[in-house]
Amino acid sequence: MQLDLNGMTPKQFLEQYWQKKPLVIRQGFKHFEDLLSPEEMAGLACEDVVESRRVFKQDGDWQAEFGPFESYEELGETDWTLIVQALNNWVPEAEDLIKCFDFIPRWRLDDVMVSYATPGGGVGPHIDLYDVFICQGSGRRRWRVGDLGPHKEFAAHPALLHTEAFDPIIDVELLPGDILYLPPGYPHDGVTLEPSMSFSVGYRTASAKDMVSAMADHIIDKDLCNEQIADPDRALSNNSGIINNSDLARIKQQLFDTLDDKLVSEFSGRYLTQSKCELDLPEESLGFQSTDIAAQIKQQPLIKLGGLRTLYFETSATDGVVYINGEQFTLSADAKTNREAFIALLCDTQELTAEALSPYLNDQHLIEQLTQWVNAGYWYYEDIE
């Protein structure tokens, strides 16, 4: 699968469109094929661990239901949509789609969402708070996109936040392989013209409120930041009830000093690698030995589990620090090879081949750590249960 930005380079796209304005990319994917069939999608929506929902109208009112679902016959043949979140957690082929957008770092990635809709189906006019590439699969869908503005939103259903009518700046019919890029804040409405599927690659960040709240929990859980304000140079005060400018500066400085690179990276590394949806992990250790890893890698590559988040920071990778699935790991300082390069290999690639791992296969410390991750299900051999 190869992305064609209609003559633009990824750099040009980021400069001209990313978080600036919508874009229709005609035939961004030539000969695009659905990543799964509607029947396979329906099968996923039967599973408890898969986040799914369906949206439809009943007697003129919008309805939304959450899976798992056993049947769709009662919905008829028109005017309904089935949605499955985090397709990349369950369908390996979704990784090929994500790779096409890897000019945006993975810490910004939310997930791949798949939508199947019957004629007339859609989720109604709404506004998203994230960037999304809506990739049209089989069938056709009409999209209307409005401009930024003070659009009034309302609850069309407890699970559906809609926006008022808007004048479109884009009114387009997407065909298989076409892509619609939408930055946050642009109202849009998609209506299916014939049975169709679309695959949305979404990118988001948490709000400052959510990050500060989660960081406070992290500080409390780890019993950090217990230092108090010191003011040995305090000047005489003539007003006992005042917080003067010097004291305000002390308070601000205490908070700023708390947010040093170490704390922010440790917290955000854990926070940003947490999966919002359940991963397909084994219930107990798989029992591999380090010798098994070294031998098997010569036969087939290790594949990163779909949906697994792995990140590292420039400031701490040299110290062997890597973040995986909400945890911080520090590779042994006794490693004989370059820990930073090993971490980059783990996080920047989705497959660990024998050639890529060859510099590290004789480094017992690194291979033992990799073995622990394989036993946890973070990397796997495709042909071994």
Q: Mind listing the pLDDT tens digit for each residue in 55-98?
A: 999 888 999 999 999 888 889 999 999 999 999 999 999 999 99
Q: Is the pLDDT of residue 383 over 80?
A: no
Among 191-195, 198-202, 362-366, where is mean pLDDT lowest?
362-366
Answer yes or no: is pLDDT of 351 > 70. yes
CB atoms within 10 A of CB 380: 18
Q: How many residues does the chain have?
A: 385
Instruction: Order across the sheet with 141-146: list the strands.
Output: 168-174, 141-146, 188-192
Please state the rounded mean pLDDT for residues 154-180: 97
Model confidence at 385: pLDDT above 60: no
10-203 domain in CATH 3.40.50.300? no
Say what percent of the chain tops pLDDT 90: 81
Higher pLDDT among residues 208 and 21, named by residue: 21
Question: 10 Å Cβ neighbour count for 115?
Answer: 23
For residues 183-191, give the mean pLDDT.
97
All CATH 2.60.120.650 domain ranges in the chain, comma separated: 10-203
3-state secondary structure the chain: CCCCCCCCCHHHHHHHCCCCCCEEECCCCCCCCCCCCHHHHHHHCCCCCCCEEEEEEECCEEEEEECCCCCCHHHCCCCEEEEECCHHHCCCCHHHHHHCCCCCCHHHEEEEEEEEECCCCCCCCECCCCEEEEEECCCCEEEEEECCCCCCEEEEECCEEEECCCCEEEEEEECCCCEEEECCCCCEEEEECCCEEEEEEEECCCCHHHHHHHHHHHHHHCCCCCCCCCCCCCCCCCCCCCCCHHHHHHHHHHHHHHCCHHHHHHHHHHHHCCCCCCCCCCCCCCCCCHHHHHHHCCCCCEEECCCCCEECCCCCHHHCEEEECCEEEECCCCCCCCHHHHHHHHHHCCEECHHHHHHHCCCHHHHHHHHHHHHCCCEECCCCC
Backbone angles phi, psi at 190, to 5 degrees: -115, 130
* Angle formed by the axes of helices 261-272 and 208-221, nearest 10°: 110
Q: Averaged over 104-129, what is the pLDDT?
A: 96
* Mean pLDDT for the chain overall: 93
Higher pLDDT, 27 or 257: 27
Burial class (CB in 10 A: 0-12, 13-18, 19+), 232: exposed
Measured between alpha carbons, how far is residue 79 from residues 38, 121, 313 in Å? 16, 4, 46
- Cβ neighbours around 41 below 10 Å, total: 22
Delimit the CATH 3.40.366.30 region(s) of the chain: 290-380
Half-sphere exposure of 41 (CA within 13 A, CB side): 26
The closest alpha carbon to 188, from 175, 206, 172, 199, belongs to: 172
pLDDT(332) > 80: yes
Given this model, what pLDDT does residue 201 score?
98
Q: What is the pLDDT of residues 196-249, one digit of tens each?
A: 999 999 999 888 899 999 999 999 998 998 889 899 999 998 899 999 999 999
Q: Which pLDDT tens digit goes with each residue over 135-157?
A: 999 999 999 999 999 999 999 99
The predicted structure's pLDDT at residue 260: 85
| Residues 252, 300: Cα–Cα separation, whole Å | 54
Which amino acid is present at 305? L
CA distance 175 to 27: 8
User: 335 pLDDT exceeds 90?
Assistant: no
Residue 384 has pLDDT above 70, yes or no: no
Average pLDDT of the residues in 40-63: 94
The pTM (predicted TM-score) of the whole model is 0.89
Which CATH number applies to 290-380: 3.20.20.10, 3.40.309.10, 1.10.10.10, 3.40.366.30? 3.40.366.30
Contact status, residue 309 vs residue 324, Cβ threshold 8 Å: yes
Query: 204 and 272 in contact (C-beta within 8 Å)?
Result: no
pLDDT tens-place string over residues 265-317: 999 999 999 988 888 899 899 999 989 888 888 889 999 999 999 999 998 99
pLDDT band at 382 (very low <50, low <70, confident <90, very high): confident
pLDDT at residue 206 in the model: 84
